[in-house]
């Protein structure tokens, strides 16, 4: 997997491959005049391994003047099949994933609603309903350990046999690449939980995103000239980095990217609290304005320090001033995100 020498190199990856991704929320709405090369999966993170798979799809589609497509499911099957103990934490919201897939050059994203009825389809009915009668792919590119249908009874070999029946070919992805993808996703999640954002960004090949809306907070920051936007995440399954202070790029309503600082934690600041509620607060450096109810996107660059309890507002303000100076120095020559 490619490595990056600095956090700034990551931003340069997104200056190419831009296409117009078509998102289909019902399989019956999908149609392509061209032959379709399809893969199936979650693609959470859309990291370098996933992008390599999309490059394989694009190469095959180019040979037949076709288009690329990804079939995925929402909600995640584990949420439906194990509602009380799925332990699922996702790297991307659906909107974040769509932007990353579009940047990777994918033509079609097909999002099928996953429910108990779908989980009970036999492998043959699954292939007939979703593939043969739905997407009608010319070729499917998939890992040779892919399982599908009721109780995961369908296998790669049975999919190949059904392909002969329904007139599509099935090609195996490189097994080593599949293992890399799984390892990358797992390692990225672990790194984020541990606050190792630079390592996570390296694994993902892009700055880790957070997104949501601004809700009213306690307005303590405003009293010391460090107003913050209290971010409520748009997806409760979104993974959140460990508590601490972070260097970020952030923007409001898809506007201009601004340099900023973000605090994740229980906001002890100057008053110890036992509420246990984790909050995410973003300070836009140099921004003056009210953004309550607005949509905010964050791209995390680096973790600065642990969250701390201070002896009064003056000590808190001094620490925030140091954080701001370090943030501005770190981002002095950085290029704002493209996505």
Query: Domain coordinates of the chain in residue numbers?
Result: 9-184, 208-330
List 211's β-bridge partners, or say none: 297
In a structure prediction context, what are the per-residue pLDDT tens digits for the chain, which is 339 residues long? 333 334 334 343 433 344 689 999 999 989 999 999 999 999 999 998 899 999 999 999 999 999 999 999 999 999 999 998 889 999 999 999 999 999 999 999 999 999 999 999 999 999 999 999 999 999 999 999 999 999 999 999 999 999 999 999 999 998 787 888 888 899 999 999 999 999 999 999 999 999 999 997 766 666 677 888 999 999 999 999 999 999 999 999 999 999 999 999 876 555 555 556 789 999 999 998 888 899 999 999 999 999 888 888 888 889 999 999 999 999 999 999 987
| Owner of token pair 């593939």 | 131
Task: Indicate the pTM of the whole model.
Answer: 0.86
Class of domain 9-184: alpha beta
Do the two domains 9-184 and 208-330 of this chain adopt the same fold?
no
Q: What is the CATH number of domain 208-330?
A: 2.40.30.30
Please state the three-class secondary structure of the chain as a single string. CCCCCCCCHHHHHHCCCCCCCEEECCHHHCCCCCCEEEEECCCCCCCHHHHHHHHHHHHHHHHCCCEEEEEEEECCHHHHHCCCCCCCCECCCHHHHHHHHHHHCCCEEEEEECCHHHHCCCHHHHHHHHHHHHHCCCEEEECCCCCECHHHCECHHHHHHHHHHHCCEEEECCHHHHHHHHHHHHHHHHHHHCCCHHHHHHHHCCCEEEEEEEECCCCHHHHCCCCCEEEEECCCCECCCCCEEEEEEEEECCCCCEEEEEEEECCCECCCCCCCCCEEEEEECCCCCCCCCCEEEEEEEEEEECCCECCCHHHHHHHHHHHHHHHHHHCCCCCCCCC
């Amino acid at each position: 997997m490619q490595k990056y020498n600095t956090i700034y190199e990551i931003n340069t990856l997104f200056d190419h491959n831009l296409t117009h991704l078509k998102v289909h929320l019902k399989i019956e709405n999908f149609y392509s005049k061209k032959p379709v090369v399809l893969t199936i999966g979650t693609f959470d993170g859309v990291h370098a391994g996933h992008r390599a798979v999309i490059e394989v799809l694009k190469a095959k589609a180019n040979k037949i003047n076709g288009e690329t497509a990804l079939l995925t499911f929402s909600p995640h099957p584990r949420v439906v099949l194990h509602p009380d103990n799925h332990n699922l934490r996702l790297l991307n919201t659906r909107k974040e994933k769509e932007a990353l897939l579009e940047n990777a050059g994918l033509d079609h994203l097909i999002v099928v609603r996953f429910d108990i009825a779908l989980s009970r389809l036999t492998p043959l009915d699954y292939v007939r309903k979703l593939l043969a009668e739905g997407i009608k792919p010319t070729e499917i590119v998939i890992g040779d350990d892919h399982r599908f249908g009721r109780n995961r009874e369908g296998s790669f070999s049975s999919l190949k046999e059904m392909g002969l029946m329904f007139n599509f070919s099935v090609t195996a992805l490189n097994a080593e690449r599949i293992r890399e993808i799984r390892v990358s996703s797992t390692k990225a999640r672990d790194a984020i939980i541990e606050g190792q954002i630079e390592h996570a960004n390296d694994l993902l090949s892009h700055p880790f995103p957070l997104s949501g809306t601004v809700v009213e907070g306690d307005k303590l920051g405003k009293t010391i000239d460090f107003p913050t936007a209290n971010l409520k995440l748009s997806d409760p399954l979104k993974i959140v980095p460990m508590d601490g202070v972070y260097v970020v790029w952030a923007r409001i309503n898809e506007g201009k990217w601004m340099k900023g600082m973000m605090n994740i934690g229980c906001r002890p600041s100057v008053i110890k609290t036992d509420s246990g509620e984790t909050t995410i607060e973003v300070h836009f450096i140099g921004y003056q304005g009210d953004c309550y109810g607005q949509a905010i996107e964050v791209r995390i660059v680096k973790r600065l320090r642990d969250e701390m309890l201070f002896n009064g507002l003056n000590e808190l303000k001094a620490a925030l001033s140091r954080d701001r100076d370090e943030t501005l120095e770190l981002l002095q020559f950085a290029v704002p995100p493209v996505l």
